[in-house]
């Protein structure tokens, strides 16, 4: 300050501007299927001087303070993952990225009757799968080398035995599911019998009937 008589005085004060963090992180990818989802997040934040602490907010009410996070979500949906960095002088910065967890099919199918006799066997397989959003396609493996993509399959088998029925689904986002059930086609008996002599005289006739039936598996009466 200078007066009109050229008298001088001064006042000095020092001010400090603290550096702010530069928040950021990397990720393995932005979208995964629900089954086995695992997002790997790596804090790459920096600050020119001082120290910083971190807080992850994953958008599902969970948090973490780790530098590297392997995050799995239990529900399909869209999540805003926010990383907040705070310096030792309470300066802060944040980075937000959007992640998508695609839904799986709620897979299932019904069978009219798991176990049927060989004669006139007719299995009806009905796909009951649903998906919460998007679409899906299906592929049946009917256990005898035949395939189908129908919603309802009517199937007859030409040999007795056990067959593994497998239903595979895949959503429009590439999320896969499968389920399998085993059916049994029971063999039918081959009926037969023998007679000691099919023509006999009335006097002292004695017919002897012997069952010669067989069944490829199991027992019969």
Phi, psi of 91 (to 5 degrees): -90, 140
| Tokens of residue 114, six digits | 């798991």
| Beta carbons of 74 and 47 less than 8 angstroms apart | no
pLDDT of residue 112: 97
- C-alpha 31/C-alpha 78 separation (Å) is 9
Residue 154 has pLDDT above 90, yes or no: yes
- Render 162-179 in DSSP notation, one character per residue: EEEEEEEEEETT--EEEE
For 45-49, 64-68, 214-218, which range has the lowest pLDDT when averaged over its residues? Answer: 214-218
What b/e sequence results for 113-146 when a residue is b if at least 16 CB atoms lie within 10 Å of its CB, and e otherwise?
Answer: eeebebeebebebebebebeeeebebebbbbeee
Sign for the pseudo-dihedral over CA of 143, 144, 146, 150: negative
Residues forming a β-bridge with 155: 123
pLDDT of residue 190: 81
- C-alpha 206/C-alpha 122 separation (Å) is 44
176-214, pLDDT tens digit by residue?
A: 999 999 999 998 888 888 899 889 899 889 889 898 877
By the 10 Å C-beta count (0-12 exposed, 13-18 middle, 19+ buried), 150 is classed as exposed
Residue 64 has pLDDT above 80, yes or no: yes
pLDDT of residue 128: 98
| Tokens of residue 129, six digits | 């799968």
Angle at Cα 128 formed by Cα 126 and Cα 130, nearest 5°?
150
Cα 132 to the chain's mean position, in Å?
A: 13
- Higher-confidence residue of 10 and 146: namely 146
Q: How many other CB atoms are there within 10 angstroms of residue 86's CB atom?
A: 18
pLDDT of residue 32: 98
| Beta carbons of 140 and 156 less than 8 angstroms apart | no
Q: Taking Cα atoms as reference points, which of 129, 122, 121, 173 lies closest to residue 149?
A: 129
pLDDT of residue 69: 98
Cα 179 to the chain's mean position, in Å?
A: 11
Phi, psi of 103 (to 5 degrees): -75, 150
């Amino acid at each position: 300050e200078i007066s009109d008589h050229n008298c001088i005085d001064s006042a000095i004060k020092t001010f400090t501007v603290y550096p702010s963090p530069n928040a950021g992180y990397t990720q393995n990818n932005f979208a995964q299927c629900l089954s086995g989802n695992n997002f790997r997040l790596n804090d790459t934040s920096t600050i020119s001087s001082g120290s910083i602490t971190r807080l992850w907010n994953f958008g599902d009410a969970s948090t973490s303070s780790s530098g590297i996070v392997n995050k799995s979500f239990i529900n399909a949906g869209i999540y805003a993952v926010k990383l907040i960095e705070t310096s030792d002088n309470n300066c802060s910065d944040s980075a937000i990225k959007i992640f998508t967890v695609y839904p799986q099919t709620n897979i299932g199918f019904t069978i009219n009757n798991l176990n049927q006799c060989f004669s006139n066997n007719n299995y009806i397989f009905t796909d009951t799968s649903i998906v919460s959003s998007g679409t899906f396609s299906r592929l049946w493996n009917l256990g005898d080398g035949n395939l189908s993509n129908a919603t309802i399959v009517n199937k007859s088998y030409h040999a007795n035995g056990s067959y593994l029925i497998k239903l595979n689904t895949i959503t429009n986002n590439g999320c896969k599911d499968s389920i399998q059930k085993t059916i049994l086609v029971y063999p039918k008996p081959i009926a037969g019998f023998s007679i000691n002599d099919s023509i006999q005289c009335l006097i002292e006739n004695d017919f002897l009937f012997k069952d010669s039936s067989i069944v490829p598996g199991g027992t019969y009466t």
